[in-house]
Amino acid sequence: MSNGEHDNKERNEKKDAAPQSEPAQADESCAVEITEVKVETATEAPPDQPAAKAEEPELVRAAYEHPLPIRITHWVNAISLFVMVTSGLRIFRAFPSFGPKIPEKVLLDIPKSLTLGGWLGGALQWHFTFMWFFIASGVVYVAYQVFSGHFRTMLFTPRDIPGVWPMARHYFLFGPKPPATGQYNPLQKLAYTSTIGFGALSLLTGIVLFKPAQFSWLAFLFGGFHLTRLWHFAAMCGFLAFIPGHLIMVVLHGWANFFSMLSGWKREPEYQE
């Protein structure tokens, strides 16, 4: 068990216990002090204990799902990704092909309305500005996940493989809903873990496209400059495949779920523990 997860558990238990011990307590730091002792009794006390019940107003089940660094990086990343995709499409319009310049075969004509920057130079300015926000949010996010141990809630591991199909069957074929085991189901873990892969791919290929002469070894790893440009585009397609599904799920799961990415707190989560 990582320290991070342990801390998290402890902190949540403190929060759990705080209002029970001192309902009128306003000062959080003070409440934490008191609950230090109360943790065991709060969770293990028989439910029909008369004293506790008498002063106990109705409690809401909630979970502090998204620590501040996750929420900040999520939104900075969301904004950056929007800018990177729309400006990137404008850049692609300048040479919408992965082949030679002569003869140039237009692969797809991207409508101007979907793009940002107005012209190639403007789009490059947006791209060269928000790439730094994109990188910063990605690096901070991954570093936080790793060092806090929080990644265990979302990292897709081989253990999650058997759960993918039942979940996909539920979502796409109206199959029975598998029981919720943790904060995220296996399909969610797969989706979220994939986006880290898309982010890493877009970063590494982006470095090559930005500085191919300085990072020629990296260009070589991706199969040369041409293919790197294709991989950079493919990474964007990965994000574009993720985003609609992600947004549909957010809408389907309602306000409490959406609000949790703003406030960190999820009211009445569907999973136990």
Partner 1 sequence: MITRLEEKELKRQSRRQLLKLAPVAVLGVFAVPKMSDRLVAAGVRFSDWASGVMFRSQHPAQTYSNAEVVPFAKFPYNGYDVLDPEVDLEKWTLTVEGDVQHPGEYTLAQVQALPKINQNTRHICVEGWDVIGSFGGARISDFLKLVGANTNANFLEVECADDYYESIDMASVLHPQSLLCYEMYGQPLDRKHGAPLRLQMPTKLGYKQAKYLDTIRVTNVLKPGKTGYWEDQGYSWFGGL
Query: Minimal distance in Å, beta carbon 60 to partner 1?
Result: 5
Q: Give the C-alpha separation, 269 to 65, whole Å.
A: 9
Q: Give the C-alpha separation, 118 to 17, whole Å.
A: 56
For residue 165, state whether it binds partner 1 (rule: CB under 8 A): no
Q: Give the C-alpha separation, 210 to 101, whole Å.
A: 19
Q: Which stretch binds partner 1 (CB under 8 A): 60-68, 159-167, 172-180, 188-196?
A: 60-68
| Non-local CB neighbours of 117 within 8 Å, separated by 6+ positions | 86, 87, 90, 91, 123, 124, 125, 126, 127
Query: Minimal distance in Å, beta carbon 197 to partner 1?
Result: 24
Task: Pick the closer one to partner 1 by CB: 92 or 151.
Answer: 92
For residue 151, state whether it binds partner 1 (rule: CB under 8 A): no
Given a contact cutoff of 8 angstroms between Cβ atoms, the answer to whether 161 and 205 are in contact is: no
Query: In the set 54, 102, 106, 252, which binds partner 1 (CB under 8 A)?
Result: 102
Q: Provide long-range contacts, Cβ within 8 A and 24+ apart, for 65-68.
A: 65/183, 65/260, 65/264, 65/265, 65/266, 65/269, 66/260, 66/261, 66/264, 67/144, 67/148, 67/150, 67/264, 68/264
Query: In the set 84, 130, 156, 167, which binds partner 1 (CB under 8 A)?
Result: 130
For residue 254, state whether it binds partner 1 (rule: CB under 8 A): no
The one-letter code for the residue type at 191 is A
Query: In the set 128, 147, 165, 255, which binds partner 1 (CB under 8 A)?
Result: 128
Q: Which stretch binds partner 1 (CB under 8 A): 33-41, 51-59, 162-170, 193-201?
A: 51-59
For residue 258, state whether it binds partner 1 (rule: CB under 8 A): no
Query: Minimal distance in Å, beta carbon 165 to partner 1?
Result: 27
Is the sign of the CA dihedral 254, 259, 264, 266 positive or negative? Answer: negative
Q: Contact residues for partner 1 (CB under 8 A)?
A: 8-9, 12-13, 15-16, 18-19, 23, 57-64, 68, 71-72, 75-76, 79, 83, 91-92, 94-95, 97, 100-102, 104, 119-122, 124-126, 128-133, 210-214, 216, 219, 225-226, 229, 259, 262-265, 267, 269, 271-273
